[in-house]
Amino acid sequence: MASASSRIVSESSRIVSAWRPAVEGVVEVFHARFTEYAYPMHVHDSWTLLIVDTGAVRYDLDRHEHGTPHDTVTLLPPHVPHNGSPVTAEGFRKRVLYLDGTYLGDEFIGAAVDRPDLRDPLLRRRVGQMHGALGRPGEELEAESRLLFVGERLRGHLRNESASARPADPVLARRLRELLDERIVEGVVLGEAAKLLGAHPAHLVRAFSTAYGIAPHQYLTSLRVGRARRLLLEGRTPGEVAVAAGFYDQSHLTRHFRKLVGVPPGRYRAG
């Protein structure tokens, strides 16, 4: 997992994993399975973005009862008291992101109190994908990109806005591609890229994806795998290649190499 990860298993009915990733806007990632535990009334100083994978949770927010079946996304605002308890004897398994005000400001608190449970399959899928990226070291660019769109979609729900098409920006897309080409090994975070190119991060990702049919993090990973292939053919070991090609470690290289090439680095070099 990402930095500062921890796993605590206090008893069979409670399994908790929590960590703080190196991604701006995310205060904490929290995964838990509870079969008996019930949360008392409490508050958070951050936004709580919650999906339930198995079971269901009932909770009170601002003196109104709500529920979180597995097909919804729940967004609880900061500073508003709430509780939570399992609906059935089997309990529930949940994944939670605690977010600061980077993507959601206090002006959305009232709307979130009124509509905390969102039925949006695309949003739920993107939140799940973001959890996957946040749990893999070296995937910070992917996590950042996914968080941008999650934040944008949440704001749209809270404003009652429908999704609308954004104009293409091929010049901006080309400039981001050139930046990624220059930084294959060291990479670049979206915030830095946005400052360098003078564009909002969400517009930057959308422009690139529209122009090239691939997200920036996928493009960068493809470049790194291509570099890794050449280095392997020069006789360097997978461990050496991982660092030289810009991957977090050898397992990070292996995961993406296998996905894009079909075989792990060791077998590619041997073949």
Mean pLDDT computed over 95-103:
93
Across the chain, what does the average pLDDT equal?
A: 87
Q: What is the tens place of the pLDDT at every residue in 150-184?
A: 999 999 999 976 545 456 788 999 999 999 999 99
The tens digit of pLDDT for each residue in 48-78 reads: 999 999 998 889 888 788 887 778 999 999 9
Name the helix (H) or strand (E) containing 14.
Answer: strand 14-19
In this structure, are residues 49 and 13 in contact, taking their beta carbons and an 8 Å threshold?
A: no
245 in the same domain as 203: no
Angle between helices 170-182 and 201-212 (to 10 degrees): 90
Instruction: Show the domain range for 224.
Output: 218-270
Residue 247 domain flag: yes
Residue 230 sits in a domain whose CATH number is: 1.10.10.60
- Gap between the Cα atoms of 270 and 81, Å rounded: 59
- Check whether residue 257 and residue 179 sit in a common domain: no
The Cα–Cα gap between 105 and 92 comes to 29
Do residues 265 and 189 share a domain?
no
What is the value of pTM for the model shown?
0.73
Residues 186, 245: Cα–Cα separation, whole Å: 9
Number of domains in the chain: 3
Q: Are 10 and 144 members of one domain?
A: yes
100, 27 in Cβ contact below 8 A? yes
For residues 203 and 133, membership in a common domain is answered with no
In a domain, 180, yes or no: yes
Q: 197 and 117 in one domain?
A: no
Q: Which stretch of 10-14, 76-80, 176-180, 235-239 has the lowest confidence by average pLDDT?
A: 10-14
**Are 97 and 195 in a shared domain?**
no
Instruction: Give the pLDDT confidence score for residue 1 in this predicted structure.
Output: 41
**Domain assignment present for 157:** no
Q: What is the pLDDT of residues 129-147, one digit of tens each?
A: 999 999 888 888 899 999 9
